[in-house]
Amino acid sequence: MDLQNNPSPLVRRLVGLAIAAGGVYMTRLAWVQAARDGSFSSLGGFGGPAFAALGLGLVLFKGYRQERLERGEDISKLQGFSLLTPRWKAVLAAALLAGLANFGLLSGWW
């Protein structure tokens, strides 16, 4: 496998920016719904911040596949979660924590 199948950095960043913007929009909608109706979309409350964090990860960092291939690692036998680098595991954890925190705030847990 080579790096030719990876998107260019500009494409990756633009897609990441679009995902982050969509996440921010979903989060905003959940807060507006909660203020107006007293209820909110669970997807917007949890997924919005998670998508925003993942999108920012795409803007700021190389993809996990590209990182591994540039280091010369053989990824042919890796699949699923084991493909993720420590950096991307941290981005995923931050995304899940952001979603949980926002959902908790909207739900009144905190």
Q: Are 46 and 56 in contact (CB under 8 A)?
A: no
Instruction: Please write the tens of the pLDDT for every residue from 33-76.
Output: 999 999 999 999 999 999 999 999 999 998 888 888 888 888 88
Around 99, how many Cα atoms within 13 Å sit in the side-chain half-sphere?
Answer: 21
Residue 24: half-sphere exposure toward Cβ, Cα within 13 Å: 8
Per-residue pLDDT at 1: 47
Average pLDDT, the chain: 91
Token digits of residue 21: 């913007």
CA-to-CA distance for 14 and 55, rounded, in angstroms?
Answer: 9
Tokens for 41?
A: 């979309």
Global confidence as pTM: 0.86
Q: Tokens standing for 42?
A: 């669970």
